[in-house]
Amino acid sequence: MSNLKSTLELNNGVKMPKFGLGVWKSNNTEAKNAVSTAIQNGYLLIDTAKQYGNETGVGQGIREGLQKTGMNRKDIFITTKVFNGDQGYDSTLYAFENQLKRLNLNYLDLLLVHWPVDGKFIDTYKAMETLYKNGRVRALGISNFNTERLNQLLDRTTITPTINQMEFNPYNQENEILSNNKLQGIQMEAWSPLGGGEALADPVINQIAVRYKKSVAQIILRWEYQRDLVIIPKSIHEQRIIENSQIFDFSLTDQDMELINNLDKGQDHRVLHYDDFKWHNPNGSWGDEVDHCEDSPANYAD
């Protein structure tokens, strides 16, 4: 029976929970409370990034959640990402140590290249390979890599990524990237799985939700779960955190799965466009600054 403890095996043999909590656009206080709440309600996967400016709050939430549940560090799976402004070999190694300090952890379960900054992402990943070989990280991955940049990475590095974390939702299904990842043995993980809210108003999904007596969000998350994605919906509200996870007591029929599959509108419906981040330019301004959250900006400096 599938539940929040269900895992999949990554290409290096590490087992990763299939459902977790994302904390994008949460400040440190919100992230702390959301992470603690999620762990107390059975979540085992937590996803953050230096870019989000809330690693300190996530670390506090981890400690509180583990303390209140009696679980140990090894019982949960923690992901963070290499910040665009830290990319490069030596700078990645240096930044990693500071990220661990903010999270108050002595190892990571998964480390991702947040964006493929041209001229830097290869050296960044090579630094991550060093961390992996030294036992500081249990698995390596990438985020927001299209097929071209994934192939560049595979040609010049030795460890195949375990994960490619992409925006994925009913209106933006990234099927070409998903197919290529599968061929390479790379697991797709969905960020913004609810599509920034646009898909929540879709009449087809709403009709399905009525028939199953489930929320629209639950229908979308169940659809992604049945497509064998790792899912990390974001919420800072306890009721929503709990509701999002209640997708294991029903299954969508093949017909309903296909109805949602047919809603794909392509990359024009991305929440974030690659060009907005200027990730092809190592000196670009977008995505190179931490999103400072108002509650504790001092936590972001290395």
- Show which residues are catalytic: 52
Residue 47: φ, ψ to 5°: -120, 125
Alpha-carbon distances of 69 from 29, 59, 75, 105, 108, rounded to whole Å:
20, 16, 11, 18, 20
The sheet that has 140-143: what strands, in order across it? 21-22, 45-47, 77-82, 110-113, 140-143, 163-167, 187-191, 230-231
Q: Are 128 and 137 in contact (CB under 8 A)?
A: yes
Q: Are 64 and 37 in contact (CB under 8 A)?
A: no
How long a stretch of residues is the chain? 302
